[in-house]
């Protein structure tokens, strides 16, 4: 049967349209416009609820869809029994008055599913955002991927290294609270490696160190404490305290006390100093306070606990006590600067080091004074020297404890110079430069006294090689061929000699001595003769006395020094004259002259018991 209202087919025998709920009527003939024309069209049943514009809601045309009911709903009503069947019949009786709500059930279910899906998607997105944006979400994600390195790496990329590290530190703490120490250490290590710049790193590393200690990994824990007090935070006392505890438990007292000292210096906490003072020996004491002193001193080192003392003087490199000296007696301090370092040593520990500095000065000596004013004199003069006392008044050298060294040959006075006596200093003829210094009983040398005099009396000349030559030949000019005509041929040999610029020479030996000649030119550059018949410079010869020889050359009259040596003269442009006492029997006199070609000529007289035994002349260098 076809429903006149919805135009859908209904089951034969049905009284109500299962689609729109309208009563079904049997009729014959046409409906619609055709029926109206024939007067047989029937009127639809009354509708008590205004139909909804279903086209706007569902996108479907026609009012009939508004009244549609599902066939399944009709079948459920037909199948009902008892009270449900009564309700079914009641509904059927009044179907034309109240439209059933079940006609929407198909559309609403699909829509509900769609909405639920959307809601679930929104919730999933929200949960994802919460997971990657919040600390609890980070913790949830990192917990979820534990044990899967690949997924953990992906989560780290999503939430960032810092957030991942914070979550790992929290997870590690949860693990250790549950007793999983090794697992917590592994997680702590991953967290530190992942983001070592994390805020609060000090506290996090303390957690790792405590986990190491709980696992019995004491050296690893100490390593973490060392990192904390050397790099992370030097002023936080916790890491020092825990590390010191480990060292004390292991009886590493040297290291523990050193760390206590460092902890006190860096944190300022007196507890570290007090703890250390109870263990470490007291530092030694010096009897002489550091500072500057006049005259020599002594200082004594002592330990109030009776421990051994080791010390070093002016040694900043060596370690104490290993490189030190065991103190046994007072330390003598002559003039100078002294830096003394010392420590006390017990059976197990070393005290703090003391360092004292002493500067010892000796009283300086006053320069000597001369009673003869500098200037020009027409006769020989004798100069007397004196000293000034602390008040600036004249005093004797002996009273002031001064020894005076002087020269009149032009050289600077030193300990090899003559010592002044009360006899004074006799000034020779010519220009004389008196130079003198005082030395006190402490070895302090005074400033130099310099006085210039001119004594207008006759005096001998300095030695000059061109004027002062042997009779019959000239060293530096005479050749071997010329010399053979005077003294014959001797035994010849070639020699290496540094006195010759070329280094090659010919030595000719005679019974009375020898002569040497330059190999290339044949010119004589050395002669040594003990021949009494050979006449030397200024008519000197073998057998003459010492005074006879020195009287022929310039002699400033300077007396011999303590060694018996005497300077005859000194001239920086011309040369020198010196007497050398070699022993009680032998001596020599040397005169030198600086040549224009750069060479130096030396004339030497050798004496035995004050008698000339040989005369020699050597030209060292020069163009020959």
67 φψ region: left (φ > 0), alpha (ψ -120 to 50), beta (else) = alpha
- pLDDT for position 83: 41
The helix (H) or strand (E) run that includes residue 181 is helix 181-194
The domain made up of 369-455 is a member of CATH 1.10.3470: no
End-to-end CA distance of the chain: 160
Question: Could you tell me the CA-to-CA distances from 134 to 149, 166, 191, 197, 243 in Å, in that order?
Answer: 22, 12, 18, 20, 37
How much is the mean pLDDT over the chain? Answer: 85
- pLDDT for position 74: 45
- pLDDT for position 192: 95
Q: Is 136-277's fold the same as 285-361's? A: no
Pairing of strands 354-361, 291-294: parallel
Residue 274, both tokens: 């007090």
- pLDDT for position 438: 96
pLDDT at 208 over 90: yes
Assess contact for 107 and 58: CB atoms under 8 A. yes
Q: Give residue-wise pLDDT tens across range 149-175.
A: 888 888 888 888 998 899 999 999 999
Domain ranges of the chain: 1-133, 136-277, 285-361, 369-455, 480-620
pLDDT at 473 over 80: yes
The helix (H) or strand (E) run that includes residue 175 is helix 161-177
- Looking at domain 136-277, its CATH superfamily turns out to be Tetratricopeptide repeat domain (1.25.40.10)
- pLDDT for position 138: 85
Q: Give residue-wise pLDDT tens across range 366-396.
A: 999 999 999 999 999 999 999 999 889 999 9
Sole residue written with tokens 């706007």: 56
| Cα angle for residues 489, 490, 492 (degrees, 5° grid) | 110
Q: Which residues contact 605 (CB under 8 A, 6 or more apart)?
A: 540, 549, 588, 589, 612, 614, 615
pLDDT at 99 over 60: no
Q: Give residue-wise pLDDT tens across range 389-398.
A: 988 999 999 9
Q: What is the mean pLDDT of residues 69-74?
A: 41
Q: What is the mean pLDDT of residues 40-63?
A: 41
- Give the span between the Cα atoms of 590 and 569, in whole angstroms: 11
Burial of 552 (0-12, 13-18, 19+ CB in 10 A): middle
Q: With bands split at pLDDT 50, 70 and 90, how would you rate the model's confidence at 124?
A: low
Q: With bands split at pLDDT 50, 70 and 90, how would you rate the model's confidence at 277?
A: confident
pLDDT at 414 over 80: yes
Q: How many CB atoms lie within 10 A of CB 97?
A: 11
Q: How many CB atoms lie within 10 A of CB 340?
A: 21
| Cα angle for residues 268, 274, 275 (degrees, 5° grid) | 105
- pLDDT for position 126: 54
Higher model confidence: residue 21 or residue 124? 21
Q: With bands split at pLDDT 50, 70 and 90, how would you rate the model's confidence at 12?
A: low
- pLDDT for position 87: 40
Q: What is the CATH number of domain 285-361?
A: 2.60.40
């Amino acid at each position: 049967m076809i429903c006149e209202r919805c135009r859908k087919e209904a089951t034969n025998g049905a009284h109500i349209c299962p689609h729109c709920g309208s009563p079904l009527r049997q009729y014959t003939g046409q409906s619609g416009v055709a029926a109206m024309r024939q007067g047989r069209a029937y009127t639809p049943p009354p509708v008590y609820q205004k139909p909804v514009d279903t086209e706007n809601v569902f996108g479907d045309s026609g009012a009939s869809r508004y009244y549609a009911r599902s066939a399944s709903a009709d079948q459920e009503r037909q199948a009902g029994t008892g009270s449900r069947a009564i309700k079914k019949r009641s509904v059927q009786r009044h179907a034309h008055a109240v439209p059933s709500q079940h006609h929407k059930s198909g559309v609403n279910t699909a829509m509900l599913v769609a909405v639920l899906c959307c809601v679930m998607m929104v919730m999933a997105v929200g949960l994802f955002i919460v997971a990657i944006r919040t600390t609890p979400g980070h913790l949830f994600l990192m917990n979820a991927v534990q044990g899967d390195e690949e997924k953990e790496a992906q989560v780290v990329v999503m939430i960032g290294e810092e957030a991942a590290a914070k979550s790992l530190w929290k997870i590690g703490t949860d693990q250790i609270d549950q007793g999983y120490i090794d697992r917590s250490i592994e997680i702590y290590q991953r967290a530190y490696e992942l983001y070592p710049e994390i805020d609060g790193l000090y506290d996090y590393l303390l957690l790792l160190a405590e986990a190491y200690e709980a696992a019995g990994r004491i050296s690893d824990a100490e390593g973490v404490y060392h990192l904390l007090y050397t790099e992370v935070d030097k002023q936080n006392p916790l890491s020092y305290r825990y590390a010191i505890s480990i060292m004390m438990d292991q009886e590493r007292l040297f290291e523990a006390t050193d760390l206590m000292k460092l902890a006190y210096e860096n944190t300022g906490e007196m507890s570290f100093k007090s703890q250390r003072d109870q263990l470490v020996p007291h530092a030694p004491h010096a009897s002489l306070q550091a500072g500057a002193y006049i005259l020599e001193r002594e200082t004594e080192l002592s330990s109030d606990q009776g421990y051994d003392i080791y010390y070093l003087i002016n040694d900043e490199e060596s370690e104490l006590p290993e490189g030190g000296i065991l103190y046994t007696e007072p330390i003598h301090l002559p003039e100078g600067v002294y830096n003394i370092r010392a420590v006390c040593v017990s059976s197990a520990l070393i005290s703090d080091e003391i360092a004292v500095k002493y500067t010892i000065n000796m009283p300086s000596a006053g320069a000597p004074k001369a009673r003869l004013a500098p200037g020009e004199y027409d006769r020989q003069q004798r100069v007397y020297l004196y000293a000034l006392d602390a008040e600036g008044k004249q005093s004797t050298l002996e009273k002031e404890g001064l020894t005076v060294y002087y020269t009149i040959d032009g050289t600077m006075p030193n300990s090899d110079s003559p010592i002044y006596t009360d006899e004074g200093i006799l000034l020779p003829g010519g220009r004389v430069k008196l130079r003198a210094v005082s030395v006190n009983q402490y070895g302090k040398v005074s400033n130099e006294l310099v006085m210039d005099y001119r004594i207008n009396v006759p005096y001998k000349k300095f030695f000059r090689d061109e004027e002062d030559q042997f009779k019959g030949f000239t060293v530096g000019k005479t050749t071997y061929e010329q010399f053979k005509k005077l003294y014959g041929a001797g035994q010849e040999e070639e020699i290496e000699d540094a006195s010759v610029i070329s280094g090659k020479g010919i030595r000719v030996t005679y019974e009375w001595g020898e002569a040497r000649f330059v190999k290339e030119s044949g010119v004589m550059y050395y002669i040594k003769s003990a021949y009494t018949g050979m006449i030397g410079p200024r008519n000197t010869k073998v057998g003459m006395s010492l005074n006879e020889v020195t009287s022929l050359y310039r002699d400033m009259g300077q007396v011999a020094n303590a060694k018996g040596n005497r300077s005859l003269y000194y001239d920086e442009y011309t040369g020198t004259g010196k007497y050398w006492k070699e022993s009680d029997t032998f001596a020599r006199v040397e005169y030198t002259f600086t040549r224009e070609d750069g060479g130096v000529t030396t004339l030497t007289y050798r004496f035995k018991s004050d008698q000339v035994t040989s005369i020699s002349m050597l030209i060292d260098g020069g163009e020959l």
